[in-house]
Amino acid sequence: MAKIIFGLVGTLASGKGAVKKRLVEKYKAEDCRFSTILRDVLNRLDVPTTRENLQNVSTSLRQLFGADLLAKAIAKDASTLNSDTVVIDGIRRMSDIGHLLSLDNFILVSIDASPEIRYKRLVERNENAGDDRKTYEEFQADQNVEADRMIPEVMKVAKEKINNDGNLEDLYKQIDDIILKYNK
């Protein structure tokens, strides 16, 4: 089986993490995440890993060293992993996919769900400091910040699309169908 590299793009709290978890657990995928680099920087500097701080460090690095800085690092990481299946989480901008599209067997997958479902998930998982106290209005505003503004445009380029309005069983079936399609 040839290496398959899945890139995940999706709206805030759409289920990218659940898709990644399924690929890692069932298909032994190795994962790369854009925010890992940013979290490493913030943790090393002892700065809280809030959504705002992640966005600020991302913007600063991209402005200083080029819009595709993180994409180059992720593409290199993904191509050197030994797994037959790799999953890349955190794609947000067109500049994020330029280097990835040049990789053999790269497949961009978009994930989406209704805003109400996504808001509930965001508050419940509390991944970033303060998410559990976020209002629906703040959640909506988060989708218009620089880091997330381009996501809908990137989603349009995806080869595969997943709707995550249903339950986990529905989500897993869509993932399994995509894997089957590319493992032939």
Domains of the chain: total:
1
Task: For residue range 56-104, list pLDDT tens digits in order.
Answer: 999 999 999 999 999 999 999 998 999 999 999 989 999 999 889 988 8
Task: For residue range 105-118, list pLDDT tens digits in order.
Answer: 899 999 999 999 99
Task: For residue range 119-143, list pLDDT tens digits in order.
Answer: 999 999 888 778 889 999 999 888 8
**Residue-level pLDDT at 127:** 80
The torsion angle over the Cα atoms of residues 19, 137, 62 and 110, rounded to 10 degrees, is 30
Place of tokens 């899945």: 6
Q: How far is the C-alpha of 175 from the C-alpha of 90, rounded, in Å? A: 17
Distances (CA, A) of 18 to 49, 70, 111, 138: 21, 23, 10, 23
Which amino acid would we find at residue 4?
I
Place of tokens 């169908």: 177
- CATH number, domain of 71, equals 3.40.50.300
Q: How far is the C-alpha of 91 from the C-alpha of 101, rounded, in Å? A: 12
89 neighbors 23 (Cβ within 8 angstroms): no
Q: How confident is the model at residue 1 (pLDDT cuts 50, 70, 90)?
A: low
91 neighbors 7 (Cβ within 8 angstroms): yes
Q: How far is the C-alpha of 111 from the C-alpha of 132, rounded, in Å? A: 22
Using alpha carbons, select from 37, 29, 104, 107 the residue that is nearest to residue 71.
Answer: 37
16 neighbors 52 (Cβ within 8 angstroms): no
Please give the model's pTM, rounded to 2 decimal places: 0.86
Q: How far is the C-alpha of 126 from the C-alpha of 128, rounded, in Å? A: 6
Task: For residue range 137-169, list pLDDT tens digits in order.
Answer: 999 888 888 778 899 999 999 999 999 999 999
Task: For residue range 38-50, list pLDDT tens digits in order.
Answer: 999 999 999 999 8
102: containing domain:
4-182
